[in-house]
Amino acid sequence: MKKIRNMLASSRGFTLVELLVSISILTVVVGIFGSGMFQVLSIQRFWTDDVKAVREVRHAGSWFAGDALNATDVLDAGGATRLTCTPSPTVQQITLTWTDQSGATHNVVYSVTGDELRRDFDSNGTPLVMASRVVANSISFTLCGSTLRLNMDVLGDRDSTDNLDLITYVRKLS
């Protein structure tokens, strides 16, 4: 029993060197764990942004194709001249027109404002934003026969540019 007391009495705790070594090891472990967590969160944000962009483009394509299938005419920005097969960089919007079963005439305007592709149905309130991050002056609308094409560049992740080419048919074109 005396030996145990003498051993405990002679024990003084940790030395400064031992304490510094243990804090250094702890710092390295926390740094490795922290950088790993940062990478996981960064990759998650990257994929979330990519999924959102793909969803926006699909949504825009769905609306555009649905409106084109109803259209009886596809007009340029002024709503006076039918589009042609020649893409024009000055045409930043088009108007799709049709008459529904009740005889009401509808106009849908697709336009680029700033960096957004917008859809305005019969000028009812605020236009619906279909896609964002559209590259300025990269959009073109063409109509060849009954094929309507929307071509534009969209900023992807990390400032890369992706080309979007939507092709649909204008079923009721007069």
What counts of helices (H) and strands (E) characterise the chain? 2, 8
Quick one: pLDDT at residue 23? Answer: 93
- Mean pLDDT taken over the chain: 80
**Could you tell me the pLDDT band of residue 158, with boundaries at 50, 70 and 90?**
low
Per-residue model confidence (pLDDT) at position 28: 92
Angle at 108 between CA 69 and CA 144, to 5 degrees: 50
Reported as a single tens digit per residue, the pLDDT across 60-113 is 888 888 888 888 888 887 677 787 787 766 667 888 888 888 888 888 888 888
d(CA 117, CA 90): 15
Q: Is the pLDDT reported for residue 164 higher than 70?
A: yes
Distance CA 21, CA 98 (A): 78
Closest among 49, 60, 51, 50 to 130, alpha carbons compared: 60
User: Is 14's pLDDT higher than 90?
Assistant: no
Dist CA 73 CA 103 (whole Å) = 16
Put simply, whether the predicted model's pTM sits higher than 0.75 gets the answer: no
To the nearest whole percent, how much of the chain has pLDDT over 90? 6
Q: Given this model, what pLDDT does residue 24 score? A: 93
Q: What span, in angstroms and rounded, lies between the C-alpha atoms of 133 and 55?
A: 13
For 123-139, the pLDDT digits (tens) are 777 888 888 878 877 88
Q: What pLDDT shows up at residue 26?
A: 92
Tell me what the mean pLDDT of segment 28-34 comes to. 88
Q: How far is CA 98 from CA 13, 114, 171, in A?
A: 88, 28, 11
Distance CA 135, CA 89 (A): 12
